[in-house]
Amino acid sequence: MQRRKFITLLGGAVAAWPLAARAQKPGKVYRIGFLANDPAIPMQPSGQAFLDGLREGGFIEGENITIERRFAEARPDRYAELVAELMQLDVDVLVTSSDDATLAARAATKIPVVMVNVNDPVAQGVVASLAHPGGNITGITLDDSPEIAAKRMQFLKDAIPHAAKVAVLTDSDTPYRQVEWQELTLAARSLNVMLRRFLVRQALELEQSFAAMEQERPDVLLLTATSFNFVHRRRIIEFAEKSRLPTMAAYREYPEAGALMSYCSVRADRYWRAAIYVAKILKGAKPADLPVEQPSKYELVINLKTARSLDLEIPRELLLVADELIE
């Protein structure tokens, strides 16, 4: 066959290839494991922020990455099982969103792990130091320090100066929670309020705590930043509304659902920054070389509609420092 005729035939054959085949992009499709507590995360602003961060890093779900999502749904005992399940899928990097999820990953795998929403990872033995993690785990801390919990109580007292009895709904008596309780106790003394702690990790204990609160009639409710509280936030807020109990919590999702206030680092920002770390690792960076970051953005959110339903007039000074007012 003449060379010119061969080239002409070849060109015609290429033109006849299916468009989809010619549009395929070369390169690996990476698999990300995402292990968290709340199954609603993908539909929340934090879930979108995670995808936005990946996109900024050059990774788009359905194109060059897939995301395998697993959720414990307020059952920390499930994390080890879920980590093992994700390892069976040969994920390239694992994202863990909570203390328990990260500790389960540390015990089970040596693949790169990006943590988010973890308290004091150095004290928990997750990393050697924030500046030099030294292993297969890095990421973004929650930085929900005991001092932040005390600041929430200060904001709650500023909003309701007459409050004298504070119910604190938390999930455990771990060393971290013990330190947090000490900080809250010190703050309570300076604010001249009495604290009553309710430990809750199971649904039955939640109902028992509700019954005890109805008997004791606290003036306000303070929710610590626990996985259980977050997953069951709607039930807790429904109880607070029924009992006319002003509530301060950690995340903005609480006042969005009807609680009075929240104060914490910006959750969506933490997920966005975690996604940037995932992108860096997929491009070849090692977790040991990526310093653990701490949150830099905090927000105070106040639900004015809830305040009106409780016949509360939030002081103007507090309204001026709030980052968002929900009408």
CATH class belonging to 146-265+299-326? alpha beta
**pLDDT greater than 70 at residue 18:** no
Beta strands, E only, the chain: 30-36, 65-71, 93-97, 113-118, 137-141, 165-170, 194-199, 220-223, 247-249, 261-265, 298-303, 324-326
- Whether 2 has a pLDDT exceeding 80, the answer reads no
Q: Can you tell me the distance from the alpha carbon of 113 to that of 102, in angstroms, rounded to the nearest whole number?
A: 8
pLDDT in tens, 92-130: 999 999 889 999 999 999 999 999 988 889 988 999 999
Fold of 30-143+267-296: Rossmann fold (3.40.50)
Q: What is the pLDDT of residue 7?
A: 39
Mean pLDDT of 148-152: 90
Asked, colleague to colleague, whether 30-143+267-296 and 146-265+299-326 share their fold, the answer is yes
The pLDDT confidence band at residue 145, using thresholds 50, 70 and 90, is: confident
Lowest mean pLDDT among 34-43, 63-72, 282-291: 34-43
Q: What is the pLDDT of residues 230-253, one digit of tens each?
A: 889 999 999 999 999 999 999 899
Calculate mean pLDDT across residues 283-289.
97
Q: Which tens digit of pLDDT belongs to each residue from 178-224?
A: 888 999 999 999 999 999 999 998 888 999 999 999 999 999 999 99
Domain spans, the chain? 30-143+267-296, 146-265+299-326
Structure tokens at 303: 């639900």
> In the numeric block, which tokens belong to residue 205?
């204990």
